[in-house]
Structure 1
Amino acid sequence: MTYRIVALEGVDGSGKSTLLESLHTSLSAHSKVVRARPARALSNAFRRIAEDGRPENLYQDALPAPFRHSAYLLESAVQFRYEQHRFEQADFVLFDRWRHTWAVYCEDVVEHGDWFARIEALLPRPDVLFWLRVDPELAYERLVARQDRWVEAYSPAGLRAKITRLCERYEEVMRDSGAVVLDGTGPASEVRAEALAVLAAQPAASVG
């Protein structure tokens, strides 16, 4: 590939969107940068099908998790075909989430698991995988502060429990992922600076 894949992982409320935006701005000063998401089309489709415009109806709770996991794998595999021309025009492709998200938020694919494992093996490896690590309470506070749609869908206790489970799952999934761990509790400017320093230490495209 002529471009470098930089993927960001972390629980909702970890600061991924803020970091993605700031990296895009910084890198774009010297490089061609494209933003992407592994399975955006299906996530949007699932939302339209299951939620019907009602924020309390989350598609994640309505559609079977193994089905979503397998569908996301399929879209991600073909994405590098139908987006190939756009990606190849870039120096960096910044991915908001990567396949680890599905291991955290979805159950394992059981039916035809061997075949889906082969599909997953076709996905390229990110040149740099960042994991924004935060404690559950901070993630919860950030979701409440920005009035995230989850706040409407869950009670405070229910949302705290959900975020806690997801953070625990991230600890398991990311343990041997080779990810660069970023302290998501720090100021956004410091997180950005640390991420840029990691990218600057890598060979290839210019980093600003």
Structure 2
Amino acid sequence: MFDPIASPLRIAFEGVDGVGKSTVIRAVRDRLSQGSEVLVDTMAPVMLDLLKRYGQSVAGDPQAYWTRVSRRTKTQCFLTEGIARSRYLRDDYRQFDVILYDRWWQTFRVYSKGNDEFDHRCRFLAQNLPSVDVLFYLHNDPATCAARLIADDDWLVREVGVDNIAGFLAVLHTEYRQVLDNDRSVIDIDTRGRSVDDIADQIVQSIATRLKVQGALRVQASQDRVTFPTKFQLPEMPIYAVEGMDGAGKTTVCSLLRSEQSPSVDLCRLSEVSLAMFKQAGTAAGRLPASAAIREQFEDEFRHQTYIIDGLVQLSCLAGGRTFARALFFDRWFPAFALYQDRILSDRGLFDFLLSMFPQPETLFYIDLDPGIATARLRERGDWMIQSYGETGTRDRLARMRDIYSVRIATMGNVRALDGQDLPANLVDQITRGMAP
């Protein structure tokens, strides 16, 4: 369980606001750190930072996002980061024996009002989070928790009201009980009248007893630490990207680039985690091709909202991760999201704001191609678009894509147009020379 090559032990802490999770987590960390490498992490610090920036931009108050963004969309933001973060930082997490999470997906289920807010889309995302080995549910008298929040002038008190906060927390506690019932990974921790040291000692003992690893915790060799993103940030190295309609040759060009580029250039697929997640779901549904299946299972709005969130989390993870690359090269960039921007109706203002947070690349290589030629290429390889829309429908869709790309790219600087009819090797050569320092 504590082999540094394997996945770390994941432990989550849940409980209503004011119960003392953060204080207890620090005490548990201090105890475990005497014999192991421990990381205290949160599920979605990047998206919380971006939501607060959005609140500041629209209302002059970071906490305004709480009322300006629907609860379902907030949940989607947080769960998507939890999934993406665990994948993009997977190798970095492995340098730790134990990860302590302050809250997990149950928080968002408890705060949601029924299945309208925590709907099938949220359940799908929750199912794709990494599983935790143990979840500690801390609880106390709601009045005690409320008194702590009032004393701290917590923002939740200002939102709910001093007279209502205790009742609000009591309802949350009841919801937690319903969500956590019959979950065998949950250990109930009653904190009433107990010191932090006493609670932390019980939790550490519970970990050892539950997992039967007494004495198994050990210190790993010291090594350079990666900086785990605690807010939205951008990589310091220059960013390049390639764009173009389906059939323009992006995948072929990127494959050639991957085989020819030195480690100094890190090739990335934008929003790679969510793309893989949706494709896996499509494959699991037993339909081929997966690309067509996911469009039947998940509406355009949900998928493209998720891609935007994922892309911003990906950039933040790249900013803090260990890399020796001098540059990043992305297969697709935010103009691809703009193609479907009109499909986003719920919380459109937030997603327009998030889309604006993508940086301008040093150079965007745009592979242009006649829609008729692109359609012929897609037909030859039996692409899902041909199967779904037919040749005429595909050609019409590609023509619309080309028009949207033309409008979007005209507003950008540093765009280099490439002829999609040119040989892939020549396109790679032009891109390589365009990235030369």
Same fold (TM over 0.5): yes
The superposition leaves residues 143-163 of structure 1 with CA deviations (integer Å, 9 ceiling, x where unpaired) of 122332223444311323322
Match of 1:203 among 200, 206, 212: 212
* Separation (CA, whole Å) in 1 of partners of 2:42 and 2:145: 21
Aligned AA (1:180): I
Match of 2:9 among 4, 7, 27: 4
Q: 2:36 maps to which residue?
A: 31
Gaps in structure 2 of 5+ consecutive residues: 1-5, 219-437
The superposition leaves residues 60-87 of structure 1 with CA deviations (integer Å, 9 ceiling, x where unpaired) of 3331011111222211111111221221
| Alignment map for 1:18-167 (pairs within 5 Å) | 18-51=23-56, 54=61, 57-107=63-113, 110=116, 113-167=119-173
Q: CA deviation at 1:32?
A: 0.4
Cα pair 1:34 1:92 within 8 Å, conserved = yes
Identity level (%):
26
Go from structure 1 to structure 2 and tell me whether the alpha carbon gap of 1:47 and 1:109 turns closer, same or farther (over 3 Å shift): farther
Provide the TM-score with structure 2 as the length reference: 0.44
- Displaced runs of 4+ in structure 1, greater than 6 A? none
* Separation (CA, whole Å) in 2 of partners of 1:99 and 1:155: 25
* Separation (CA, whole Å) in 2 of partners of 1:74 and 1:183: 31
* Separation (CA, whole Å) in 1 of partners of 2:196 and 2:157: 23
Q: CA deviation at 1:128?
A: 1.0
Q: 2:189 maps to which residue?
A: 182
* Separation (CA, whole Å) in 1 of partners of 2:175 and 2:166: 14
* Separation (CA, whole Å) in 2 of partners of 1:87 and 1:109: 33
Mark the structure with the bigger radius of gyration.
Answer: 2
Q: Secondary structure in 2 aligned to 1:80?
A: helix
Aligned AA (1:199): I
Taking only aligned residues, the RMSD between alpha carbons, in angstroms, comes to 2.4
The superposition leaves residues 55-110 of structure 1 with CA deviations (integer Å, 9 ceiling, x where unpaired) of 7x443333101111122221111111122122100000110001100101234565
Aligned AA (1:2): S
* Separation (CA, whole Å) in 1 of partners of 2:118 and 2:174: 27
Provide the TM-score with structure 1 as the length reference: 0.88
Q: CA deviation at 1:132?
A: 0.1
* Separation (CA, whole Å) in 2 of partners of 1:169 and 1:112: 13
Gaps in structure 1 of 5+ consecutive residues: none
Go from structure 1 to structure 2 and tell me whether the alpha carbon gap of 1:131 and 1:53 turns closer, same or farther (over 3 Å shift): farther
Cα pair 1:3 1:91 within 8 Å, conserved = yes
Structure with bigger RCO (C-alpha 8 Å, 6+ apart)? 1
The superposition leaves residues 27-55 of structure 1 with CA deviations (integer Å, 9 ceiling, x where unpaired) of 11110011111122112211221255637
The superposition leaves residues 143-200 of structure 1 with CA deviations (integer Å, 9 ceiling, x where unpaired) of 1223322234443113233222222221221222331000122221111111011012
Q: Secondary structure in 2 aligned to 1:60?
A: helix
